Structure 1
Amino acid sequence: MPSYSLKKLIVVAGLVCYSSFTLAAPSHGIAMHGDLKYSSDFTHFDYTNPDAPKGGSVKQWALGTFDSFNSFIIKGTPADGLGLIYDTLTSQSTDEPFSEYGLIAKTIDVADDNSSVTFVLNKNAKFSDGEPVTANDVAFTFKTLTTEGSPVYRIYYGDVKDVVIVDEHTIRFEFKSTKNAELPLIIGQLPVLPEHYWKDKDFNAPTLDKPVGSGPYMLDSYEAGRSITYKRNPNYWGADIPVNKGRYNFDFITYDYYRDTTVSLEAFKAGEYDFRQETSSKNWATSYVGPMFDNGQIIKAEIPHSRPTGMQAFVFNTRRDIFSNPDVRKALSYAFDFEWTNKNLFYSAYARTNSYFSNSEMAAEQPITPQETALLEPFKDQLPSEVFTDVFKAPVYDGSGNNRRELRTALRLLKSAGWELKNGKLLNKETGQAFTFEILLVQKEFERIVAPMLKNLKQMGIEANIRIVDVSQYINRLRDFDFDMVVSSFGQSSSPGNEQREFWGSYNADMKGSRNIIGIKNPVIDALIEKIIEAPSRQELVYRTRALDRVLQWNYYVIPQFHSTSYRIAYKPFFGMPKTRPLYDIGFDTWWVKEPTK
């Protein structure tokens, strides 16, 4: 497990010797591959309106409930919107694949050999209680998150060897390896917490105490479990710096909680809140109609995006014995008839997902290249042969609902894996155990999508049941890996890197609260993740990610579902928004209220 070292966490007075860390010239930003889009004298991102008016109140919706304002631990259910409270060292632009610019950090210095990154903090940076943000706060945050926070942080920041406080406003992170080009950007994503606020508190406990942050908003008021309101900090130190100009324009942002997405949609149509992103194709096709849409009381829009859509899927918990065999997992993939589902339930609104990196150049959707073959050849004896010979495609149906041939294929696979169909039930040949499992859901609306698959599983002799639980119970069961199958998603960026360890790394397969909910323990995948992290160029990153994609695909860890390449949004007409939209985000934080109330 990655460890945090305090050996060099010291304040160095006077002149500091940098002889071991030859730095490039201090920069206002850093790009993963290639050049920065914005020069050092930029005043705002292209997708913002620097003259956007400030003011007004906005309501959004959230699902379930909350019982904590501490989103950094695995206990409790954190409230929505808490990210508005905290600033990070850098801010990522959403019209570049992966570039960051100074936020709390005024400059960024990466060592020539990539052995460290040094951040010089903006001396104007302050917390919401007026206390200055210092290098001590950054060091405290890093130590606290990696020792007391969610296991995600230990994995994500695992390549950091030491943290050195150079002076009050300068901090250096030293790395275990020089090969992780993404690490300086990953450190830049570190939220900064106030040491003075947390020093007398139990960080590892859920809390409803109002937090102190450094971001553009402060917690204003809340009704436990039902609503939470954030107020724009009128004294926010970073309101006019380039990465923030034209953003965070609303005076108040409220999240109202609903137990059910159907109720939340009806509340939106009744005017109870102001903005909604729709994920249900059925709702989009059938429910966003009526007088309020015809007369302009509510505007609906589909906005194409260039964001990788990642993988949404039925996810196996491979820690369960019944799902430990890849042939069994492959057989069960035949139970999901996407073509029938898309036509009859989704109004043909979706595309089938076959790649973990869909809608991006990293997707392994073409025959394997020589570069990928060279990467995978050393592991040939540990890989399915199809990795080298075939392009992965999930089972394809004709949309008629007649899938007898495919189900026969599934039964042959199950038979080869030690299962047999007897009197309509699939039984283990050795133990006589019946093949049964539970699909855990948090959204009742997904029941209609799962139901046809249950019918197909029944034809295989498999008894699968749906269990719908509330948000808090769902989160806790995922943290404890207490499920057979869930519907989940693995989001991807345009520049895959350290987060792949969280998703698929053996190191955290048994770590409660980790994001490796599948339970993958595969040394080939571990090796490929490190290859991705160490990719020396964009082209190499693409090849290495495609190689990982192929190995994930052919191990049948999930049953892929579907994706859309557009955002479906609906909103009240009082919003203004910039003419230029970001490529990789909706950009809601750049919107404003046209005529703010005084």
Structure 2
Amino acid sequence: MAGETSQGKSLEALLSGRLSDGGIACDRRGFLRGAAVLAGAAGFGILPAKPVQAGEGRGHGLSFFGDLKYPAGFARFDYVNPDAPKGGEVATQVASWAYNQNPSTFNTLNSYVLQGDGAYGMSLTFASLMGGTLDTIDNLYGFVAEEVEVSGDGRTYRFFLNKAATFHDGSPLTAADVIFSIETLKTDGHPSIALQLQHVEEAVAEDDRTLRIVYAEGTPGSIPLTVAGGVPIFSAAWWKGRDFKATLSEPPLGSGPYKVKDFTFGRTIRFERVKDYWAVNHPTMIGSTNFDIVRYEFFRDRNTAFEALKKGTTTFREDHSSKSWATAYDFPAFKNGEVVRDIVPDGSPSGAQGWFMNMRRPKFQNPLVRQALAMAFDFEWANANLMYDTYKRTTSFFENSDMKATGEPSPEELALLEPLKAEIPPEAFGPAILPPVTDGSGRDRKVLRAVQDLLKKAGCTREGDRWLLPGGEPLTFEILDDDNVFEPIVGSYFSTLKLIGIPANFRLVDAAQANARVRDFEFDMTPFRSSMPVYPDNYFKLIFGSEAADQQGSRNLAGIRNKGVDSLIGTIIAAKTRPDFVNACRALDRVLRAIYPWVPHWYSGTHKLAYWDVYEHPETLPPYGVGLLDIWWLNKDKAQKLGKGI
């Protein structure tokens, strides 16, 4: 759901939520929007500013590709309303999460560790050295750090901190606090965070306002930007004597634009805007963080969440249910115009969403079996009969972007694939693999025959009305989920499988149990969504790399272990130009699709918004996010009239 702002957000921005019918990555312009953008779209009608480059002295920003959009001394971001009024409340729900977060509940205020179910929104309370934008793909601008200087070899970054930066109690935010944050997350943080911070070789406070960070030789180019724009800054003094990994029931001292106002574990948490915030007039904050109160509500199921919007318990919702969008807006508040809807184009890559198969389990280790199971899903029937023809079929891990592989491999892609011929499936050298397009009947005979032919080729045998794996075990599986929104679609998939003798089960468990089982890889299949970075980022290792396959809490849910994939990830991370990066991503896409680790789902390409008519935003929205907390504000006259948002 719409969510967190750019400043003070964590590495969480690099990781996206699990689902969409689907899920959404939080709206926060924070670090290089890993879920965010169609590459090559930066630079919107102004002369570009020069980013700091290795060995060229201090600069006000960092950029992975190309130049910075905003020059030194810029007044504000182009897409904000600098005169947006402050005040009011926005109440929404959780539909995107990362690390230990759980969309249905929470039992700790620390969302940066593996343990517990972390509260959503805590990154609102922490600042970072730098922050990104909603109108560029890879720009970072100074925040806590006013300027940055990069050594000639690109390994050493010196940050010059803003003297005005403080924590919420007025104590100064110093280089020692940044070092404490890095070291704490490196040793005790969630594995997905700690893995990236292992590249930090040294962090030194030259003085209270000067920080030097040295990275190990061979560190991926994205890691320094991740640290600059993604590490939340904790108070070393506040955490002294406290166990970072223990359950946290006391709001920690923060450094961001909001602080925790109150909460009830498992139900709701409210954040209040820090009125005397040190950065209230900072160029990156002008026109932003306009709500006095931000409230997140937690619900066990989506029907209850929708009822909350109807009643006004929540006031803003991004609707990911095609059924509710098509049929459920018939309640009085919508009919009389108190609740309004809007469809906003989504310029972000849609990424990868599907049911991911746990290839650690023997039943899924034969690629032909995986291919057969993927082929059996009749998307055309489900889209027409269950999703109101509102979706397009996902075919790529880089869907809706120029990183998606299409047709035959280009010469540039082949140059990357040929040396890996012994490690990757031969199908990667042919046309990019696509799921079949069925006749929409739910029982396309041609497709079902192809599914069974694949099973025979895999060594499976038919015994009566069921299929047996080569070892003699029945071919059956379970889809694990903590939300019943997919149940009708799962049911249609299972009905097709049943026609050919493959029984399957839908296991619905509570969110905490699902979170724990996915974290420990105790599942057959589970739905998952991840948008891909649009720059050479270490996140590719976290989601597809062999090293992450057995790492508890890893995003490599399928358990992909492939030397060719690892090699291509290395090429992606080492890319120095945009074309090199795109070609490597396309090559990786071909290989991943040929591995068949998933049953691909669908995507929309738009944001479907429903909200009480008390909120407003600039006429033109930025391309890479709804920006609820970045650019929206409350119309106080409307709020008084409707009694909402006040």
Using the size of structure 2 for normalisation, the TM-score is 0.87
**Pairing 1:288–2:313 present:** no
* Alignment-mate amino acid for residue 383 of structure 1: I
Map 1:385-534 to 2 at 5 A. Answer: 385-430=426-471, 432-534=472-574
SS of corresponding position for 2:309: helix
Map 1:47-126 to 2 at 5 A. Answer: 47-62=79-94, 63-126=103-166
**Pairing 1:559–2:599 present:** yes
Task: Report deviation, 1:451.
Answer: 0.4
Please, which of 62, 65, 68 is the counterpart of residue 30 of structure 1?
Answer: 62
Map 1:86-485 to 2 at 5 A. Answer: 86-177=126-217, 180-188=220-228, 189-430=230-471, 432-485=472-525
Using the size of structure 1 for normalisation, the TM-score is 0.94
SS of corresponding position for 1:578: coil
Distance in 1 (alpha carbons) for counterparts of 2:489 and 2:573: 36
SS of corresponding position for 1:258: coil
Task: Report deviation, 1:580.
Answer: 2.6
Task: Report deviation, 1:517.
Answer: 1.4
Distance in 2 (alpha carbons) for counterparts of 1:568 and 1:177: 45
Distance in 1 (alpha carbons) for counterparts of 2:510 and 2:77: 39
Distance in 1 (alpha carbons) for counterparts of 2:62 and 2:570: 21
The answer (yes or no) to whether the contact 1:60–1:273 under 8 Å persists in 2 is yes
- What is the CA deviation profile of residues 205-233 of structure 1, one whole-angstrom value per residue up to 9, with x for unaligned ones? 12111111100011011122111111111
* Alignment-mate amino acid for residue 363 of structure 2: I
Task: Report deviation, 1:22.
Answer: 6.9
Distance in 2 (alpha carbons) for counterparts of 1:592 and 1:321: 53
- What is the CA deviation profile of residues 99-146 of structure 1, one whole-angstrom value per residue up to 9, with x for unaligned ones? 111111111212233122221111111111221111111111111111
Distance in 2 (alpha carbons) for counterparts of 1:460 and 1:140: 58
The answer (yes or no) to whether the contact 1:528–1:547 under 8 Å persists in 2 is yes
Deviates more, 1:77-86 or 1:302-311: 77-86
Task: Report deviation, 1:386.
Answer: 1.9
Distance in 1 (alpha carbons) for counterparts of 2:339 and 2:262: 28
* Alignment-mate amino acid for residue 36 of structure 1: L
Distance in 2 (alpha carbons) for counterparts of 1:517 and 1:237: 41
The answer (yes or no) to whether the contact 1:355–1:365 under 8 Å persists in 2 is no
* Alignment-mate amino acid for residue 616 of structure 2: G
Match of 2:29 in 1: none
**Cα 1:165/1:112, change in 2 over 3 Å:** same
**Cα 1:366/1:120, change in 2 over 3 Å:** farther
Root-mean-square deviation (CA), in Å?
1.6
The answer (yes or no) to whether the contact 2:423–2:562 under 8 Å persists in 1 is no
Task: Report deviation, 1:235.
Answer: 1.9
SS of corresponding position for 1:250: coil
Percent of aligned pairs sharing the same letter: 40
Query: How many pairs does the alignment contain?
Result: 577
Match of 2:618 in 1: 578
- What is the CA deviation profile of residues 224-280 of structure 1, one whole-angstrom value per residue up to 9, with x for unaligned ones? 211111111112111111111111111111112221111110221122211000111
Task: Report deviation, 1:294.
Answer: 3.4
Distance in 2 (alpha carbons) for counterparts of 1:121 and 1:515: 33
* Alignment-mate amino acid for residue 325 of structure 2: W
Task: Report deviation, 1:495.
Answer: 2.3
* Alignment-mate amino acid for residue 518 of structure 1: A
Match of 1:15 in 2: none
Task: Report deviation, 1:435.
Answer: 1.4
Task: Report deviation, 1:290.
Answer: 4.3
Task: Report deviation, 1:468.
Answer: 0.6
Distance in 1 (alpha carbons) for counterparts of 2:54 and 2:531: 36
Distance in 2 (alpha carbons) for counterparts of 1:468 and 1:108: 49
Task: Report deviation, 1:375.
Answer: 0.8
Match of 1:40 in 2: 72
Match of 2:28 in 1: none
Distance in 2 (alpha carbons) for counterparts of 1:413 and 1:66: 44
* Alignment-mate amino acid for residue 503 of structure 1: I
SS of corresponding position for 2:421: helix
* Alignment-mate amino acid for residue 423 of structure 2: Q
- What is the CA deviation profile of residues 123-181 of structure 1, one whole-angstrom value per residue up to 9, with x for unaligned ones? 11111122111111111111111111111012223333222222211112222235733
Distance in 1 (alpha carbons) for counterparts of 2:106 and 2:396: 33
SS of corresponding position for 1:264: helix
The answer (yes or no) to whether the contact 2:476–2:502 under 8 Å persists in 1 is yes
Distance in 1 (alpha carbons) for counterparts of 2:496 and 2:198: 43
Distance in 2 (alpha carbons) for counterparts of 1:207 and 1:181: 34
SS of corresponding position for 1:292: helix
Which structure 2 residue ranges, 5 or more long, are not aligned? 1-52, 95-102, 641-645
* Alignment-mate amino acid for residue 139 of structure 1: I
* Alignment-mate amino acid for residue 323 of structure 1: F
Distance in 2 (alpha carbons) for counterparts of 1:23 and 1:428: 60
Distance in 1 (alpha carbons) for counterparts of 2:257 and 2:78: 20
* Alignment-mate amino acid for residue 150 of structure 1: H
SS of corresponding position for 1:48: coil
* Alignment-mate amino acid for residue 230 of structure 1: F
- What is the CA deviation profile of residues 357-402 of structure 1, one whole-angstrom value per residue up to 9, with x for unaligned ones? 1111111123211111101110012222221121221121121223
SS of corresponding position for 2:58: coil
The answer (yes or no) to whether the contact 1:156–1:501 under 8 Å persists in 2 is no
Match of 1:16 in 2: none
Distance in 2 (alpha carbons) for counterparts of 1:499 and 1:421: 41
